[in-house]
A and B are shown apart, each in its own frame.
Chain A
Amino acid sequence: MAQVTAPSPARPVEVELRPAPPVDLGRAARLGLIGGVAMVLVAATGIVGTFQTRLLIDPILPLGLLFLYLLAFAFGWMAGKPPAALEGFAPARANSRNLVAGALAGALGGLCVGVLAALMSTFDLRGVFVQLSPQLLEILTFGLPLGAAIIAIVAISAVAGAIGAGVHLLPIRLKRSLLPALVWVMMFALFTDLVGQLFAGLSAEFLTDFLFTGRGGALTIVGAITVFIVVFVAYWLLGGRETTLRGRIEAMPRGQRTRFSLIAAAVILIILWFVPKVMGPFVSQVLDTAGIYLLMALGLNIVVGYAGMLDLGYVAFFAVGAYTGAILTSPQSPAFTPQLLLIVAIPFVMIAAALAGLMVATPVIRMRGDYLAIVTLGFGEIARILFNSEWLAPIFGGAQGITNIPDLRIGPLQLSTPQDYFYPIFLVVLIAAYVTYALQNSRWGRAWMAMREDESVAEAMGVNVVTAKLSAFVVGAVLASFGGALFGAQIGSVFPHSFDIVVSVTVLVIIIVGGMGSVPGVALGALVLIVLPNLLREFSQYQFLFYGVLLIVMMLTKPEGFIPSKRRAQELHADELSQDAWLDIYGDKPTTDATTTEPPR
């Protein structure tokens, strides 16, 4: 028996698929209680009360209660979701048991709210929870007596949960038409200003008058039904086709695909050209802000996503860019007033940012992970405190900042409105996106990634980690400084308090939520985290609460971000896939020999 044999390759064994496990009602109950806690928290933080004044669909659907029962719907959806297909098991089919699970989860969630209502009517909880007011009780109980109200709450939640679970029972084509239709109705109802502005910009105000109760009013029932039908029909027709758009693009021959992407890029550019003209000053302002954050996110993406260095003080470079631009262009700058044109000042802004990047990076070169994060966090605060200090006030103006920053002028073009600024900001964003993308596939990019993976081995391959780290910091700093300079010019003034830690955190959240290392992901992240909260006035008060919730949900369910780079997507889900083969939910051994099962490639 001395002979050594290679492990025999996995034999193609005919394995009888075992029936899928049924939906777990215990899990549904647990989800229901978690949902209940979430619903109680939504009430206790005042979200229900604040949002209640906003009518989504006039006159039947106030946002506050809808929000509450959407949670019941969501947890019902989760509870009724058939378990994921595992190797060796038949795919699960949804049936009435799924509905029961959804209803159970919803009812338990509703029960928690009912208990809250009972507590509120018995005790005065406002000493601890300011928001638990009699008005809220009135909203929660629909003005009914307590017993009837609890029954109503539980019943509504159960129905919402069952509907949520029912989504899994729908045929796929119906599901793919119904859900987008509902989402679009929600969007029309939530973004009334945006939609109204869009119609006004396109000289189609008659649509506003038809769908809404008036200019700036809520969606009418007729409007909601119209939007629903239009979207539903459109998706139904699209859903009937055999191939997806993406599939057809991928099937194109190479030359045709290049041509197609060029045309698509041209169309997008043309649309971008008209966006500020159609959308007016308010939306343009929001987009400008998003563009500046996007620019910073692209820069931080290089430092964190590519080179793997967690920089929590990134705002420092944004501030350096803004202040350098302000000092060089503003006549009000305290110490030094060259009053350059911003376009002329930009090279100096870049140099200042690069120097700041080197200054921060040099002492932290030998630090990794947590240490690096803490030290950069400190640097971010140091920058803000220095700009704010009395000591440096003769240069930076202290708390008064620097005002009177002239608007950007390019040749004969004098920019002034938010619509004007949209163009330079997005031009720089496009350049930054291109640079990021090109770096990814370059020798530098590979060196950064190798360093992120294993610093000392990268060094043994000849990568000079000192230069690599410094260059990542400098590239990141320069991108942020562009954002800063444009920000200063657009706002017309810079103050130290614009550069606090929240900016760093927001930028980091954008790249985490969007997808670290992925340019389209970062763009979507900026859209979701900057544009949406600014357009939804009701939400702005709870902006950071939603960031937190979004981050937790993302980390639990989609840690690679909305649009991940391919690498990270594989990395974060490879483990799950390979676990499938080993997972043994019945507690007995699978019929095939598990030791010969290789993880899927």
Chain B
Amino acid sequence: MNDGSRGTPILSLRGVNTHYGPAHILKDVDIDIYPGEMVCLLGGNASGKTTTLKTMLGYVKPSSGAVFLEGENVNDWTTARRVGHGLTMVPENRRLFKRMTVRENLEIGAYLRHRENHGADYDRIFEMFPRVKERLTQRAGTLSGGEQQMVAMGRALMAHPKVLLMDEPSMGLAPLLVAQNFEIIDQINEAGTTVFMVEQNANMALSIADRGYVLQTGRIVLNDTSQGLLANPQMRQAYLGELEN
């Protein structure tokens, strides 16, 4: 690992242990995300992927270890404060505010930036997702799955995130839409936003990510570049759908 040249990680977990009551979910998890990177977290069901995200955002407090945002220990920060400092999430299954209009959903995304002008943000989002512009006054719950994904991404981008956390972006979408979606995530990353993505679709995630971590029953078992992971025999067998030969 030649991390020395990359400066301070923008977001990192150091020795994080997380418990839900007596259940020990995350075990000594170390994750470092550097500015401009796209990092993915892979793992099977119940491996602790979503808990990692929740710990990062502050829904769950680690029982030991710490979350660092731009080098600062943020363990005691509320979720809202972390969001104000550049963490934003696109939740699993989009979870739009279904009874609110598309415009209201986007405005909530910019909730903490209410003193700024959002015109340019809208333009950027409409450029990326022309469909969203047509649907502005419609209730979010009436959109198709693909459109909802667009609004969810737009909503997150309205916050001007430094780090965009994505929880299972491929979940519940048709294969064609998954491909489109990953293309857009790639574009967002190219434009300078750091992306941390939790995924089950390892092939898809590794095709666009720079690096990846693999989580197994709450422990990081692999940590390598995407190429490295794709070539790793252990990885191929467990997550890339290849049988032993």
Give residues in A with beta carbon < 8 Å to B: 4, 6, 443, 446-447, 449-450, 453-454, 456-466, 567-568, 570-571, 574, 599, 601
Residue from B79, B104, B176 within 8 A of A446 (CB atoms): B104
User: Shortest CB–CB separation between residue A511 and chain B, in angstroms?
Assistant: 17
Chain B, residues 102-114, CB within 8 Å of chain A (1/0): the string is: 0010011101101
* C-alpha gap A4/B173 in the complex (Å): 14
**Chain B residues, Cβ within 8 Å of A461:** 83, 88, 108-109, 111-112, 155, 159
User: Shortest CB–CB separation between residue A412 and chain B, in angstroms?
Assistant: 44
**Most chain A beta carbons < 10 A, residue from B59, B80, B142:** B80
Known interface pairs A447-B111, A601-B138, A601-B142; A460-B89 also in contact (CB < 8 Å): yes
Closest 4 pairs (CB-CB, A-B): A462-B83, A462-B112, A453-B97, A464-B80
Query: Is B97 in contact with A6, judged by CB distance below 8 angstroms?
Result: no
Residue from B97, B138, B175 within 8 A of A457 (CB atoms): B97
Main secondary structure of the interface of A (DSSP, over half): helix
**Chain B residues, Cβ within 8 Å of A568:** 99
**Chain A residues, Cβ within 8 Å of B111:** 443, 446-447, 450, 461-463
**Most chain B beta carbons < 10 A, residue from A447, A462, A463, A599:** A462
Query: How many residues of chain B are within 8 Å of chain A by beta carbon?
Result: 30
Query: Is B99 in contact with A443, judged by CB distance below 8 angstroms?
Result: no
Query: Is B159 in contact with A462, judged by CB distance below 8 angstroms?
Result: yes
**Chain A residues, Cβ within 8 Å of B88:** 460-461
* C-alpha gap A463/B97 in the complex (Å): 13
* C-alpha gap A456/B80 in the complex (Å): 11
Identity of the chain A residue whose Cβ is nearest the Cβ of B152 in the assembled complex: A457
* C-alpha gap A150/B104 in the complex (Å): 62
**Chain A residues, Cβ within 8 Å of B175:** 4
Identity of the chain A residue whose Cβ is nearest the Cβ of B140 in the assembled complex: A453
Chain B, residues 71-107, CB within 8 Å of chain A (1/0): the string is: 0000000111001100011010001011110001001
Query: Is B99 in contact with A462, judged by CB distance below 8 angstroms?
Result: no
Query: Is B59 in contact with A459, judged by CB distance below 8 angstroms?
Result: yes
* Residue B57 at the chain A interface, CB threshold 8 Å: yes
Query: Is A6 in contact with B108, judged by CB distance below 8 angstroms?
Result: no
Query: Is A454 in contact with B100, judged by CB distance below 8 angstroms?
Result: no
* C-alpha gap A466/B98 in the complex (Å): 22
**Chain B residues, Cβ within 8 Å of A463:** 80, 108, 111
Query: Is A459 in contact with B138, judged by CB distance below 8 angstroms?
Result: no
Known interface pairs A446-B107, A461-B111, A462-B83; A453-B155 also in contact (CB < 8 Å): no
**Chain B residues, Cβ within 8 Å of A447:** 108, 111
**Chain B residues, Cβ within 8 Å of A6:** 176
* C-alpha gap A160/B111 in the complex (Å): 59
Known interface pairs A449-B97, A571-B99; A460-B107 also in contact (CB < 8 Å): no
A–B complex contacts, Cβ < 8 Å, 27 sampled: A4-B175, A6-B176, A443-B111, A443-B114, A446-B104, A446-B108, A449-B97, A449-B100, A456-B91, A459-B79, A459-B80, A460-B79, A460-B83, A461-B109, A461-B111, A461-B112, A462-B80, A462-B112, A462-B159, A464-B78, A465-B80, A571-B99, A571-B141, A574-B141, A574-B142, A601-B138, A601-B142
Chain B, residues 129-143, CB within 8 Å of chain A (1/0): the string is: 000000000110110
* C-alpha gap A446/B84 in the complex (Å): 18
User: Shortest CB–CB separation between residue B84 and chain A, in angstroms?
Assistant: 6
Known A462-B84, A464-B78; 7 more pairs at CB < 8 Å = A447-B111, A450-B100, A453-B98, A453-B100, A461-B155, A462-B111, A567-B99
**Chain B residues, Cβ within 8 Å of A459:** 59, 79-80, 83
* C-alpha gap A457/B140 in the complex (Å): 14
**Chain A residues, Cβ within 8 Å of B57:** 460
* C-alpha gap A159/B175 in the complex (Å): 63
Identity of the chain A residue whose Cβ is nearest the Cβ of B139 in the assembled complex: A570
* C-alpha gap A457/B97 in the complex (Å): 9
Residue from A446, A449, A457, A464 within 8 A of B95 (CB atoms): A457
Within 8 A of A (CB), among B116-148: 138-139, 141-142
**Chain A residues, Cβ within 8 Å of B139:** 567, 570-571, 574
* C-alpha gap A552/B155 in the complex (Å): 39
* C-alpha gap A123/B125 in the complex (Å): 78
Query: Is B109 in contact with A453, judged by CB distance below 8 angstroms?
Result: no
**Chain A residues, Cβ within 8 Å of B141:** 571, 574
**Chain B residues, Cβ within 8 Å of A460:** 57, 79, 83, 88-89, 91
Within 8 A of A (CB), among B174-194: 175-176
Within 8 A of A (CB), among B46-82: 57, 59, 78-80
**Chain A residues, Cβ within 8 Å of B83:** 459-462
**Most chain B beta carbons < 10 A, residue from A454, A461, A567, A599:** A461
Identity of the chain B residue whose Cβ is nearest the Cβ of A447 in the assembled complex: B111
User: Shortest CB–CB separation between residue B36 and chain A, in angstroms?
Assistant: 22
* C-alpha gap A236/B114 in the complex (Å): 53
**Chain A residues, Cβ within 8 Å of B59:** 456, 459
* C-alpha gap A218/B155 in the complex (Å): 63
User: Shortest CB–CB separation between residue B137 and chain A, in angstroms?
Assistant: 11
**Chain A residues, Cβ within 8 Å of B78:** 464, 466
* C-alpha gap A466/B80 in the complex (Å): 10
**Chain A residues, Cβ within 8 Å of B84:** 462
User: Shortest CB–CB separation between residue A601 and chain B, in angstroms?
Assistant: 6
Query: Is A457 in contact with B99, judged by CB distance below 8 angstroms?
Result: no
**Chain B residues, Cβ within 8 Å of A456:** 59, 91
* C-alpha gap A458/B139 in the complex (Å): 17
Query: Is B176 in contact with A4, judged by CB distance below 8 angstroms?
Result: yes
Identity of the chain A residue whose Cβ is nearest the Cβ of B85 in the assembled complex: A462
Identity of the chain A residue whose Cβ is nearest the Cβ of B89 in the assembled complex: A460
User: Shortest CB–CB separation between residue B93 and chain A, in angstroms?
Assistant: 10
* C-alpha gap A443/B112 in the complex (Å): 10
**Chain A residues, Cβ within 8 Å of B109:** 461
Query: Is A450 in contact with B97, judged by CB distance below 8 angstroms?
Result: yes
User: Shortest CB–CB separation between residue A449 and chain B, in angstroms?
Assistant: 6
Query: Is B80 in contact with A454, judged by CB distance below 8 angstroms?
Result: no
